[in-house]
Amino acid sequence: MQTLMNRYGIVGRNEALREALATAVLVAPTDLSVLIQGESGVGKEVIPRVIHDHSKRRGKTYIAINCGSIPEGTIDSELFGHEKGAFTSAIGEHEGYFGAADGGTLFLDEVGELPLSTQARLLRVLETGEYLRVGSSTPRKTNARIVAATNVDIPNAIKQGRFREDLYYRLCTINIKIPPLRERQGDAVLLFKKFALDTAQRYNIPEPIRLTPEAEAVVNSYKWPGNIRQLRNITEQLSILSESRSITPEMLAKHGITPNSDADTGIATIAGSNRSGTQHDYEQEIKILAHAVFELRSEVQELKKKLRGGESWHDAQAGTTMPVPINTQKGTSPIAHTYHSLSEGRNAQPLDMDIPTAEEIVDDDTLNIGNMEKRNILLALQRNHYRRKLAAEELGISERTLYRKIKAYGIDE
Ligand SMILES: Nc1ncnc2c1ncn2[C@@H]1O[C@H](COP(=O)(O)OP(=O)(O)OP(=O)(O)O)[C@@H](O)[C@H]1O
Ligand SMILES: [Mg+2]
């Protein structure tokens, strides 16, 4: 087990995590489909790789695709391929991932995001090993082994009619559950040390940061709602930003890491976290709301100014529209994507920001619409501990749109 963990850079003593890894190795030689479940940021993505590398398919193709990042209109053709002329832009035929992964492993990440019509097609492949290209009625065979992962509560999605029950049972012939970090007693400190060391090596920092005994206790008792992704990001930030190499509870608190608290800050708190409302919370919330209202006012003033300056409403809107090529995963063609108006990315400012005047906003080139949107996405991700679902909710956009924007802006989570 230790050799396996070293090979994949997995750190942790937790029994449930080790059991999950052991199950992956055990089922690897079979062709059974596997569903990996766990909260966002718990480390699901390494499991399909372990399965592929320990199967007889290891010399063959391994394809990982993120179902949430492919636009709904093209997902069937991306997965199953299409015939020439199947739709207006289909100038040639396209093999699709199921064809490309024949004999190998196809990892369907974020499978809970698949549209219902695609779920029906997927069920058919799982049941019969056959699929239809878009625009074709001739079934094709594929011998791709399917491993899927999701952070969505699928039974709940089934109740809401967003996920097919039959597909769920078909997918989870083998069910691997990855525990959240808060249930892995002691692992957070081990992971902190690993990430501190990794960051020091990557950026040639002479000495990695370390936790004082008091800070270790905080890291251990904190709930880590964003799990390992959140821990990794905070460790990297502290490694780079902190002058002292010794990290204290006060320094952790500046990043929202406080003892026995899930330390949700920002809109997520207002939107219904279960924290008890202390005086401190109210102050935070009032500040956030004040910033949000101010930003809204600034935007209105900015638009008014543009209109007064002779710019038509249409021009003002056109300034916010920016085609950006996106590369979805592995070999998918770039897709032109149009950005929406400012209101979609509007968000609260971080608490320690100086409030700019409306004039400053207009004059400051770094605050053009694209930059503002990128910054707002980053802030929303941070505030929601890199849980994309919550960040998307906060931004008022769909998770799928958020995925595409993360890719388009090259945001490294
Ligand atoms: N046990 C571990 N040891 C070391 N690093 C880990 C461990 N688990 C996860 N990580 C790292 O944490 C980060 C998040 O993991 P991963 O991307 O697999 O999350 P996920 O479960 O797929 O989340 P999401 O559902 O949001 O996509 C990755 O950088 C991964 O390498
Ligand atoms: Mg993932």
Q: In sequence order, what are the beta bridge partners of 404?
A: none
Name which residue sits closest to atom 25 of ligand 1, judged by CA: 40
Which residue do the tokens 């083998």 mark? 174
Its sign, for the CA torsion 45, 8, 142, 96, is positive
d(CA 212, CA 247): 6
Name which residue sits closest to atom 23 of ligand 1, judged by CA: 41
Provide mean pLDDT across the span 157-166. Answer: 94
Interval between CA 266 and ligand 2 midpoint (Å): 24
| Spacing of C-alpha 244 from chain mean position | 31
Question: pLDDT per residue over 68-126, tens digit each?
Answer: 888 888 899 999 998 887 777 777 878 899 999 999 999 999 999 999 999 999 999 99
Interval between CA 139 and ligand 1 midpoint (Å): 37
The residue to mutate among 5, 7, 42, having the most atoms of ligand 1 within 8 angstroms of its beta carbon, is 42
pLDDT for 292 equals 63
Question: pLDDT per residue over 21-77, tens digit each?
Answer: 999 999 999 999 999 999 999 999 999 999 999 999 999 999 999 998 888 888 999
Task: Check pocket membership of 112 for ligand 1, CB cut-off 6 A.
Answer: no
* pLDDT of 330 strictly over 50: no
Contact 183, 143 (CB under 8 A): no
d(CA 411, CA 413): 6
Which residue do the tokens 């290209």 mark? 133
Task: Check pocket membership of 38 for ligand 1, CB cut-off 6 A.
Answer: yes
d(CA 142, CA 63): 14
Helix (H, G, I), strand (E, B) or coil at 146: strand
Name which residue sits closest to atom 13 of ligand 1, judged by CA: 229
d(CA 157, CA 399): 15
Name which residue sits closest to atom 29 of ligand 1, judged by CA: 229
Give the pLDDT band (50/70/90) at residue 137.
Answer: confident
Element containing residue 383 per DSSP (H, E): helix 369-383
pLDDT for 294 equals 61
Interval between CA 124 and ligand 1 midpoint (Å): 30
* Residue 17 alpha carbon, nearest atom of ligand 1: 1
d(CA 277, CA 284): 11
Interval between CA 230 and ligand 1 midpoint (Å): 10
pTM above 0.75, yes or no: no
Nearest ligand to the CA of 42 is 1
Provide mean pLDDT across the span 364-383. Answer: 74
Task: Select the highest-mean-pLDDT range: 51-60, 252-261, 330-339, 401-410.
Answer: 51-60
6-20, 135-149, 162-176, 323-337: least confidently modelled range: 323-337
d(CA 29, CA 174): 13
Task: Check pocket membership of 385 for ligand 1, CB cut-off 6 A.
Answer: no
Interval between CA 302 and ligand 2 midpoint (Å): 38
pLDDT for 167 equals 95
* pLDDT of 314 strictly over 70: no
DSSP code of residue 63? E
> Domains of the chain by range and CATH?
2-179 (3.40.50.300), 182-263 (1.10.8.60), 279-328+338-408 (no CATH)
* pLDDT of 340 strictly over 60: no
pLDDT for 362 equals 47
Element containing residue 361 per DSSP (H, E): helix 358-363
124-138, 297-311, 330-344: least confidently modelled range: 330-344
Interval between CA 110 and ligand 2 midpoint (Å): 7
9-18, 50-59, 213-222, 369-378: least confidently modelled range: 369-378
d(CA 172, CA 33): 7
* pLDDT of 284 strictly over 60: no
Helix (H, G, I), strand (E, B) or coil at 296: helix
Q: In sequence order, what are the beta bridge partners of 64?
A: 107
pLDDT for 361 equals 45
More confident of the two residues 383 and 37: 37
Residues whose CB is less than 8 angstroms from the CB of residue 61 and which lie 6 or more positions away in sequence, other chains included: 100, 101, 102, 103, 104, 105
Task: Check pocket membership of 349 for ligand 1, CB cut-off 6 A.
Answer: no
4-13, 175-184, 316-325, 397-406: least confidently modelled range: 316-325
Count helices and strands in the chain by DSSP H and E runs: 20, 11
Give the end-to-end CA distance of the chain in Å, rounded to a whole number: 28
Interval between CA 314 and ligand 2 midpoint (Å): 39
Give the pLDDT band (50/70/90) at residue 402.
Answer: confident
* Residue 151 alpha carbon, nearest atom of ligand 1: 25
pLDDT for 270 equals 33
d(CA 204, CA 33): 42
Q: Computed over its alpha carbons, how large is the radius of gyration of the chain? A: 23
Its sign, for the CA torsion 165, 403, 323, 355, is positive
Task: Check pocket membership of 20 for ligand 1, CB cut-off 6 A.
Answer: no
Name which residue sits closest to atom 15 of ligand 1, judged by CA: 43
* pLDDT of 318 strictly over 80: no
